Structure formats: C-alpha cells, structure tokens
Amino acid sequence: MSEEINHKRLKMETQELENSNIPERYSEQDEEQIETDLHFILSRPSPFGNETGKLPLGEFDPEEELFDFLQNECRALVIGAGGLGCEILKNLALSGFKSINVIDLDTIDVSNLNRQFLFRQKDVGRPKATVAAEFINQRIPGVAVTPHHAKIQDFDEDFYSQFNVVISGLDNIEARRWLNSMLVSLVEMTEDGEISDPSTIIPLIDGGTEGFKGQARVILPRVTSCFECSIETFPPQQKFPLCTIAETPRKPEHCIAYAYIILWEKEFPDKKLDTDSPEDLQWVYNKAVQRAELFGIEGVTYMLTMGVVKNIIPAVASTNAIIAAACCNEAVKLLTYCGQTMNNYMMYMGSSGIYTHTFEYGKKEDCPVCGKVEKILSVSGDMLLKEFIAMLIGNTSLQLTKPSLTTAAQTLYMQKPPSLEELTRPNLEKQLKSLLDDLDVVNITDPVYPQGMGLSVTVKFLT
C-alpha cells in the first residue's frame, strides 16, 4: 500500500511541476544577462587567476578571445543524463557553453521525475539523453546539445578526442574506470614517458553523489592522479553467494536477488530481465515480497528492489545541485584560467551539517593506467591459474571483472570468444609455475579498460 501511495504522490508532484509557471524559453534579456555575467568574469583582472593556485595550468589573461572560445569553439561532453547529469547540463548551458554532447544509455522511468527535472510524465519510456537535449535546446537560445542514446564504450578515440572537457555524472564505477582509461590513453607520450603534446590532455571532471554525500574531482590525465589511482577507496561491488540467497536468506537483498537471478530464469528462460521496465521490476518486487514473507524477513520495498537490480545509488536533489555546481565551476576555470583549479578532490558531507573539504589525491606510481612503475604481484608458484584470476578480481587495487591473460609466449586464458575460452579453459587447473617463469610479465585485458588497452604485471614467485 505504501508503494502505491508513494507512486500517486510522485505523480501529483510531477503534475504540479508541469503546471507551474516555469517559462517555456529564456528570453533575449536572460541570454544577454548570461553573456554579461560571463564577460564580467573573463574581462577583468583577478588576484586569484589559475596561475596562483596549487595546480597552475595557465596564466589568466582577461581578453575577448576567452569569451569567444567558450561560446564558439569549446566542445563539452557530459556523461550521464540522470539526477547529476541534468544539473550539469543546465549549469553548462547557463554558463556560456554553446556546444554540448551528452551520452546516456537509460530511458526515463516514473521514479526519475522527482529529481531529474528535465523530464516530465509524458517523457516516460524515452531516452534520457534525447529528452534532456530537447529540453535544453528548446529552453535556452543558442545552445546546441547533441544527444547520444548509447554506451560510452560505443565510441572510439576519435570521438573523445574532439572535446575540450569531459564531465562525468555516472553512478557506475566500471564505466568511470573505462572513461578514465580512455582519456589517459589519448595523451601523446614520448618513449621515456613524458608528455609530448599537452593539447592531447582532455580534463576529466568526475562528479558523484550518494545520499547527502558527494564528491567533485579534477583529473588531468598523466598530470594529476587518475580515477584508477584511487580505486581502492571504492569497495568492490557487493555480491551474494548463490547458496545463501537460495537456501539461507537473511536480508531483504537476498530475497530480491533470488527473485531476479533464480525465479526470473525459471519463469522466462528466453527473456532477459529489462531493468528499465517497470513491469519487470514490479514482477521481481512481488516475488521478493513473497519470499521475504516465507522466511520472516522485513524490509523489501520497490525502491530497494530497484537498487539491488539496477545497483542504484540513493539520490538527493540538493546534493546533485551542489556537486554539479562544483563540477561546472571547475570546467569554466579549467578552460579560461579565470580561477584557481581545484587540487584535486572535493568531498561534500551533508549528512552531519554542511561540510566540505578539499585535498590532493596523489598519483600512484604503480597505477595500472597512468603509473610509470611496473606492478609486481608476489604469489606462490603452486597457485592454480583460476586462483590467480580470482585474486586479480578480489585485489582492491585492481578490482578486475573478467580478466583475460596472455604472455609474450602464450595465451593463458581468454574470457571470449567462446571457442577461445574453451581452448584455454584447461589452463585454469594448472599451477602457475607450469605456465610461467619467475618474473614473467602477464598482460591483462578486462572490460574496465577500453579495447586495445590493459595492464601488465610482473609475477614474482615466492620462495
């Protein structure tokens, strides 16, 4: 009953928003005011120019060309058009950015409408990127937002290299790692590991929120620490043992996992669960409630079901607004040098009062993406290859998902295609010392890295 009441309340709030007196389009006076404010910032000297900060990138020189660049030449890419992405798109458009691209794979669900303000009831079921672009283009004169209803992995190096800045509003760690690796790979380097062409450095501004907490981060590929340098701060995604959810469930999450992993396959063997389908999620929720009642477990809700199935992070509109503002502020400073660049990590803690602090997250010399020092893994030569792969997946500094391994001499194990996986599967039961020599270099590819990229680790046998 509470779920039904919440749904009706959400629908009423959405209708009130749609019937409110929000202008359909900004007037010419509004556009002139935006340009006037931008002119004011970029045309006057400042004692706090970029060169005065702890992460100096260039000297601030007030001139008309800065304004022209931001309005006519600069190309910004926004990743994600959810709660955080909607705020970012709006802020960029109202900060003078005229050419914006946005990538998002999701479609709009009714549960999005209370905080993703670019969407309306009539938009449910449509791609988020498309609707967000239409809203901004219609509302703000002169702004051109180009939508891409796709995965970030669908685009290659040529696509990403055309942008001056990338702002991420993703709630998916794996996608953020992939994006980070892509931008790091675009930086042209000399043979001795130095940056040969600074123009190939595309800043990545990473924003993230979880309830009343959030973070904004400036990543200059090959200059500052990259996203992978801090992967240890993100706990591995929680997974439930199949035996637990099937035989001894103790949490509401176990009941939900049982419904969408086991019961769905029994009910529909030929149909994949659509995590964006309200009907499919309602089915999972109903089955999870039945199982929870059977085992006397409380706490199964529709929102928790969405969270478990879609790995949704709780969102609060005010937190999204604060983090998006910080991200877009950094974008303006990075591209015009009008202010000190954040160095390089800002945390917002709104759960115990409004509190923020900024600190520098240092580079890891053995970072598998941007590090200069080889990574060494010390293991027993008696370890089986399958145990070695499990160790790679569980390693907090690597957190791989489906690693494939090769050496200069042979292919150890490949996750795909199926024919190659079958061919290399027998190696999983072999000891490392029968496959490798001490200090051999193992090349690893994984879905968290773009195609053609990976990492190399030196395997050292324990004596």
d(CA 369, CA 184): 7
d(CA 370, CA 225): 8
Q: Which of 243, 327, 338, 370 is catalytic?
A: 243
Q: Name residues whose C-beta falls within 8 Å of residue 311's C-beta, 6 or more positions apart in sequence.
A: 171, 172, 237
Closest CA to 459 of 408, 402, 394, 401: 408
- Residues 351, 357, 363: CA angle, nearest 5 degrees: 120
d(CA 400, CA 413): 15
Burial class (CB in 10 A: 0-12, 13-18, 19+), 102: buried
Q: 370 catalytic, yes or no? A: no
Using DSSP, state whether 319 is helix, strand or coil. helix
Which two three-digit tokens encode residue 251?
A: 């949490």
d(CA 77, CA 99): 9
Q: Find where tokens 């905080």 sit.
A: 115
DSSP calls for 282-321: HHHHHHHHHHHHHTT-----HHHHHHHHHTPPP--HHHHH
Which two three-digit tokens encode residue 266?
A: 């029994």
Tell me, what amino acid is at 208?
A: G
Q: Find where tokens 């003078």 sit.
A: 96
Largest CA distance in the chain: 75
Residues designated catalytic: 243
